[in-house]
Structure 1
Amino acid sequence: MKRAMRFAAIGAVAALALTACASEEPADDETTAEETGGEDAGDETGEDMADPEELVLGLVPSQDMDALVEDADQLGALIEAELGIPVTTTVTDSYAGLVTAMQTGQAHIGMFGPIALVQAADQAGAQIVLQSVRYGTSTYHTQWFTNDPDTYCLDEVVEVEQEDGAIYTFCNGTDEAETGPAGEDALALIEQDTQISMVDESSASGYYYPATQLERVAGLDPLALNTLFAGGHPNSIINVASGDYAVGVSFDDARDNVVEENPQIGEEVTVFAYSDEIPNDGVAVAGDLSEDLQQRIADAMVAVIETEEGATAFDEVYSIEGLVEADLDALDAARQVEANFAGL
């Protein structure tokens, strides 16, 4: 049985001019190095500012917005209990919005997709501290799917029964492939004007990686694709299932997030290709927090996910099974995709 991998919201930040308004606000003249733990008041590392008395955890939807808000609140409460500092949550409509929130001090902890993660570091001065684990691995891939298997399936459609009894359909070897790329020959059938349902212009698996893959495999201009941004991975699945778009992308396997409402979704859309592997999403903390608080936040999140209640909360939010120290070298690959994409 094929083991369906899940990924949330995972994303990238498109070329955006983000303002550095947070860094322009003057520190309180009465703040001292002794109060903040910094050696020199007025330095540029953020050590001249006292740590906040309340932290804000920012997330981006990979599911129904109302459901994410509820799940995020539960996760925030668990982190608060472990950390001993009040934690509130905020849900932004895109990773670009969350990067801006980190940059302007409206969020202190952010859960980002891989490219947005490095953008948070590069543009907002955030510190990347943790990386997600799913099915024992810290990578995932985009899945390409269609409502027109006669066109995009170069072999027979394979039906795979899931644990809940639902039938998911695959072709071009994707039923057996655990990692990408796979089924790339079928991507050559996509033309410049083919309508494609993508996720968000700041999503790694929902835009950056598949758009770059089309440039490499089909010679298409990734900046001139006939793209609809669905605003979420499940929404992209629904767009294709409804017939609005013949082809779509999401994380593998976002059909899991739709099957409860539509048990036939796995037959209505067929997965026909995978992208290259992508580093998993992760956690960044504001760079102007003290190093001690940054470490305490990371430790608290790891401690929470190691509890039964915490494991459930992280699974509900982003299907995260574990958290490990961020692999900064692996995330450089995502940074390079963003840089190459911006240069196209």
Structure 2
Amino acid sequence: MTLNMLTRALAGACAVLAMNAAQALDARFEDKDGDLLADVPADPAKWIDPATLVFAYTPVEDPAVYAKVWDDFLKHMEKVTGKKVQFFPVQSNAAQLEAMRAGRLHVAGFNTGSNPLAVNCAGFRPFAMMASLDNRYGYEMEIITYPGSGIAKVEDIRGKKLAFTSETSNSGYKAPSALLRQEFSMEAGKDYEPVFSGKHDNSILGVANKDYPAAAIANSVKQRMQSRNVVKPEQLEVIYTSQTFPTTGYGVVYNLKPELAEKIQQAFFTYDWEGSELAKEFNSSEPPQEKFMPITYKEHWEVVRAIDAAMGVRYDCK
């Protein structure tokens, strides 16, 4: 059973998960309109209107690089919202989730696998995703190795180490784990040794430097690293490529003042990518990421929720 077949077979499980979304949401949230997101509070007294908006991009190897990449966009957001905007360099998915849950993070890009946790535990309301001008989007999970590793196909990982990123990552853990279990009858800890690098960048560099014999990664990250000459194509070999998944989802915390939340959305959809640092960084992906397109969590993250259902993932908030 391929990963494509697996996600189709789990459509029913995903539907059940969607029907039970109210139970998946943390007890402090409501979802009266059935969009699977925490509703904006009806009581204006519960809205927040911070003097400084805090923005965080999904954790990367060198947050300082991405502070520069996002700088012009955040200045645009300042003009549109009339607020100061601060870049918050998070070091892990868990830190990013906790920051929003604690009220310290207002606008964010959560990676594919973290979106359900952010939605259900932190009140994240995603509304945008990077896409090409003709609305193509997403990335594939790849299992990579290095030349001469002795690994030519997925089955060759048996008895060896496989690097994942973190347990909240879709392509860095959940999707490959489901694939290995369903298609190859390989269980972590029994048939191969799982190790966790923390980030896609670390996994890719680890394979390129022969620290890990194989790793499960998002190929969009690999493409950007190759475009910056951080790793060279000849250092890596791809032994498996999945179906296409949605990429990082951008949105706001649920209890922002509605007028402010609308202005933040406006900032995303009116930003001019031409010649920007965002364009320089993200146009190298395939498909190229050239704009922000509107999305809904209910539709675009259905396949991710299906994989979570297959993995027995619960969106319990600790």
Taking structure 2 as the reference length, what is the TM-score of the superposition? 0.74
Contact 1:259–1:266 at 8 Å: present in 2 too? no
In structure 2, relative to structure 1, the CA distance for the partners of 1:100 and 1:50 (3 Å cut) is closer
Separation of aligned partners in 2, 1:237 and 1:292? 41
Paired residue secondary structure (1:209): helix
User: How many Å separate the matches in 1 of 2:223 and 2:273?
Assistant: 27
Long gaps (5+) in structure 2: 1-25, 29-39
Check the 8 A contact 1:112/1:281 in 2, yes or no: yes
Deviations 1:135-170 (A, max 9, x none): 7422221122112457443xxxxxxxxxxxxxxxxx
**2:210 is equivalent to residue 243 of structure 1:** yes
Shift of residue 321 of structure 1?
A: 1.9
| Counterpart secondary structure, 1:244 | coil
Alpha-carbon shift at residue 256 of structure 1 (Å): 3.9
Sequence identity, in percent?
A: 21
In 2, the alpha carbon distance for the partners of 1:314 and 1:112 equals 19
Hey, what does 1:65 align to over in structure 2? 63
Whether the aligned pair in 1 keeps the contact of 2:41 and 2:255 (CA below 8 Å) is no
- Deviation of the 1:315 alpha carbon: 4.8
Aligned mates of 2:48, 2:163 — CA distance in 1: 45
| Preserved CA contact (<8 Å) 2:273 2:279 | no
- Kept in 2, the 8 Å contact 1:113–1:282? The answer is yes
Contact 1:73 1:88 in 2 (8 A): no
Aligned to 1:107: 105
Aligned to 1:147: 146
Deviation at 1:223, TM superposition (A): 7.0
Q: 1:201 to 1:245 in 2, by over 3 A?
A: same
Helix, strand or coil: the match of 1:220? Answer: coil
Distance 2:41 2:175 in 1: 40
**Aligned partner letter, 1:129:** F
Q: Which has the larger radius of gyration?
A: 1
1:32-43 superposed matches below 5 A: 40=43
Match of 2:303 in 1: 333
Q: In 2, distance between residues paired with 1:246 and 1:111?
A: 30
Q: Which residue of 1 is the match for residue 265 of structure 2?
A: 298
- CA change 1:194–1:128 in 2 (3 A) is same
Shift of 1:87: 0.7
Distance 2:251 2:49 in 1: 16
| Structure 2 Cα separation of the partners of residues 258 and 64 of structure 1 | 15
Letter in 2 for 1:321: E
1:257 aligns with 2:225: yes
Q: How do 1:199-238 and structure 2 match up within 5 A?
A: 199-222=165-188, 225-238=192-205
Alignment length, in residue pairs? 271
**Partner secondary structure for residue 217 of structure 2:** strand
CA distance 1:150–1:142, shift in 2 (3 Å): same
Give the superposition deviation at 1:38.
7.3
Question: Aligned-pair distance for 1:266?
Answer: 1.3
Q: Distance in 1 between matches of 2:83 and 2:189?
A: 44
The one-character-per-residue Cα deviations of 1:286-343 (angstroms, maximum 9, x if unpaired) are: 1011222222211111111x3425x433653796422111133121221222233235
Q: How far apart are the structure 2 equivalents of 1:140 and 1:111?
A: 15
Q: Distance in 2 between matches of 1:138 and 1:262?
A: 24
Q: Which runs of 5+ in 1 are unaligned?
A: 1-19, 24-36, 42-46, 154-185
Partner in structure 2 of residue 77 of structure 1: 75
Normalised to the residue count of structure 1, the TM-score between the two structures is 0.69
| Alpha-carbon distance change, 314 to 120 in structure 1, aligned in 2, over 3 angstroms | farther
SS at match of 1:144: strand
Q: Deviations over 1:237-290 (max 9, x none)?
A: 221122221112222150541464456x21121112112321222112110112
Q: For 1:92-171, list aligned pairs within 5 A.
A: 92-134=90-132, 136-148=135-147, 151-153=150-152
Supply the distance in 2 between the matched residues of 1:223 and 1:114 (Cα, whole angstroms).
Answer: 25
1:195 aligns with 2:161: yes
**Paired position in structure 2 for 1:29:** none
- Answer whether contact 1:147 1:268 (CA < 8 A) is retained: yes
